[in-house]
Amino acid sequence: MVPHLVTALNGPLHDLEKKILEATPAIERWFRLEWQEHTPPFYCSVDLRNAGFKLAPVDTNLFPGGFNNLATEMLPLSVQAAMAAIEKYCPDAKNLLLIPENHTRNMFYLQNVARMIKIFRQTGLNVRLGSLSAEVTEPVTIDLPDGEQLILEPLERSANGRRLGLKNFDPCTIVLNNDLSAGIPAILEELNEQTLLPPLHAGWALRRKSNHFAAYDEVVKKFAKMVDIDPWMLNPFFLKVKDVNFHERTGEDALAAAVDTILAKIRKKYKEYGIKEKPFVIVKADAGTYGMGVMTVHNSDEVRDLNRKQRNKMSVIKDGVEVRDVIVQEGVYTFEQVHESVAEPVVYMIDRYVVGGFYRFHEDRGVDENLNAPGMHFVPLAFAQQHAVPDMRAKPGTAAPNRFYMYGVVARLALLAASLELERTDPNPEIY
């Protein structure tokens, strides 16, 4: 499926696509060298926005929950990448414990869990599901719409307290698909003998988007210098604002000032490149996911004039966690369309490999709005061989494989930023 792109990649992105394609050997070598220095997260998904004059990541998720949206022909690639990832941590792995989110009624999410089990089983592992929910005290069977079944089991610590598993199941590796928004459960702490992937500090209990985008800033500057482009083409401006309370209206002035600062920087860039669009920013919680605690803002007065409903929406994220810190991020338009609806590409990676992706699209949202909201749909994006290999002879902006290659490059920049972020926020860094 080749998406309809309203802009036909006009403007500076033509130049960007051309430069990235010409620099492909240098880019791939650069990534190889970076991965010798840094360990990629176990898995990751990146939300991209393609404005035609800019292609940038706006969110990086270290607990991706949409493997069921990937094209089935991408499964072999996912299995291969998962093998490479697991071998790093546990070369003789036999048993793998997967810990999903607690929301067991969300069938879309559970189909993602089923797809992950399928991927891990095809790497030759015994895979079982352990639940963090206090309500799961004995095995629970869940029927999926396609006739498959999932069995959720209660987690158990070993007699010596150093290992985590299930009844009669001792895993070498534990894969978390639970983003720990509500905090770190005691049962996951101090596991000295097993590898937890991703590590606990990757969860939203400790992780902050501002740390991620600060690392991304560094990565993009290095990359842009090598490819000879303006880093802004791949990078949204952002600022962190601390101690905002939407209910009590504290921190409002600092938030409004940050909005003004970012809008001024965007205006300057738009003027430099002759872009006629109206600048906007996205205000979002510094921690958390599921598209909660996110709003589009066109001027700072909108932050001061929020009504009660908007304040309520901004003040709490997943699992009822209160928002205290936010980031103000440059809004990146998306001019991609699927079925005549606004769309954005989401790229999936396991270890350092792009294993596929999909378009998230929303019939009721505009080109400047968050698409991660109830009512969204997904169309698989096959990063199959013919898509991954760029066509060097094609005119800029005309070949889908070239665009998909660009998506993969920018997503891997975000992946590299995530690895730097995890290194820097590790509470127990290894001393070499």
pLDDT at 394: 65
| Predicted confidence (pLDDT) at residue 321 exceeds the cutoff of 60 | yes
Cβ atoms of residues 182 and 258 within 8 Å: no
pLDDT at 387: 43
Cβ atoms of residues 359 and 346 within 8 Å: yes
Sorting pLDDT into bands at 50, 70 and 90, what band is 385? very low
| Predicted confidence (pLDDT) at residue 259 exceeds the cutoff of 50 | yes
Most confident of 7-21, 110-124, 416-430: 110-124
Summarize the confidence of residues 53-82 as an average pLDDT. 93
Q: What is the pTM of this model?
A: 0.92
**Euclidean distance between CA atoms 340 and 7, whole angstroms:** 13
**Euclidean distance between CA atoms 249 and 257, whole angstroms:** 14
Summarize the confidence of residues 225-250 as an average pLDDT. 91
pLDDT at 93: 87
**Euclidean distance between CA atoms 75 and 72, whole angstroms:** 6
Mean pLDDT of the chain: 87
**Euclidean distance between CA atoms 148 and 21, whole angstroms:** 43
pLDDT at 401: 65
Residues 73-104: tens digit of each pLDDT: 888 999 999 999 999 888 888 999 999 998 77
pLDDT at 431: 46
Residues 156-178: tens digit of each pLDDT: 999 888 899 999 999 999 999 99
Sorting pLDDT into bands at 50, 70 and 90, what band is 8? very low
Torsion angle, CA of 119/122/127/133, rounded to 10 degrees?
Answer: 10
- 177, two tokens: 């698909």
| Predicted confidence (pLDDT) at residue 389 exceeds the cutoff of 60 | no
- 333, two tokens: 């338009």
pLDDT at 299: 92
Sorting pLDDT into bands at 50, 70 and 90, what band is 288? confident
Lowest mean pLDDT among 247-256, 289-298, 338-347: 289-298
| Predicted confidence (pLDDT) at residue 423 exceeds the cutoff of 90 | yes
Percentage of the chain with pLDDT > 70?
A: 89
| Predicted confidence (pLDDT) at residue 244 exceeds the cutoff of 90 | no
Sorting pLDDT into bands at 50, 70 and 90, what band is 291? low
More confident residue, 358 or 315: 358
| Predicted confidence (pLDDT) at residue 151 exceeds the cutoff of 90 | yes
Q: How far is CA 216 from CA 75, 182, 232, in A?
A: 29, 26, 12
Q: How far is CA 56 from CA 154, 306, 313, in A?
A: 41, 28, 26
**Euclidean distance between CA atoms 73 and 110, whole angstroms:** 20
pLDDT at 90: 85
| Predicted confidence (pLDDT) at residue 310 exceeds the cutoff of 70 | yes
Lowest mean pLDDT among 199-203, 207-211, 220-224, 295-299: 295-299
